[in-house]
Amino acid sequence: MAARHLFFGIALLAVPALTILPGSASGQDALEPFCGEFDAVRHQDLITFINHGNEGVSPGDVRILRWQLVDQDGESIGVQHATSRVMHSDIEGSYPLMGASTFLFDNGILMASAFVESRDPSDTNTSSVRPLEWFVYGGTGEFAGATGSILTTPTGEGVYDIAFDLSCSE
């Protein structure tokens, strides 16, 4: 069990360094995220489910997710990583999850959380099929002291429009 946690820890630390390198394949300048309002697109990249205990979906199970973030021209601007932990539910067929996420950009990191409901958290073929609002509670670099919200809206298979609405104190 410890080896599996170590593997995921290493993977989550190593991937951002490889996936948010500056530069653009088309030679155009990509949007640089900033405090304020801006839009982006997110493409599903990875979903993993870790069963911690009882057979089937149960409290404590975890989903690990990763999305590539691009600007409206399709240029890479960063990566979103998230973990969602299954919580206890008295409603059959519905699983609440508490999500924590980091949005990694060249000019800083945003930290956010969200409450998600899923019919089957173990399904690794799909992420949210409804709009989801992430609540920003901090950041680094350009996003130091950030608060605000990030609304993700599904537009097709594994693709989401993202609306950032951020305020930064520093």
The full set of domain ranges for the chain reads 2-20+37-167
Percent of the chain with pLDDT over 90: 54
Residue 20 and residue 78 in contact, taking contact as beta carbons nearer than 8 Å: yes
pTM of the predicted protein model = 0.79
CB atoms near residue 96 (< 10 Å): 17
Sign of CA dihedral 74, 148, 129, 107: positive
Name the superfamily (CATH) of residues 2-20+37-167: Allene oxide cyclase-like (2.40.480.10)
Q: Which pLDDT band, with edges at 50, 70 and 90, does 13 fall under?
A: very low
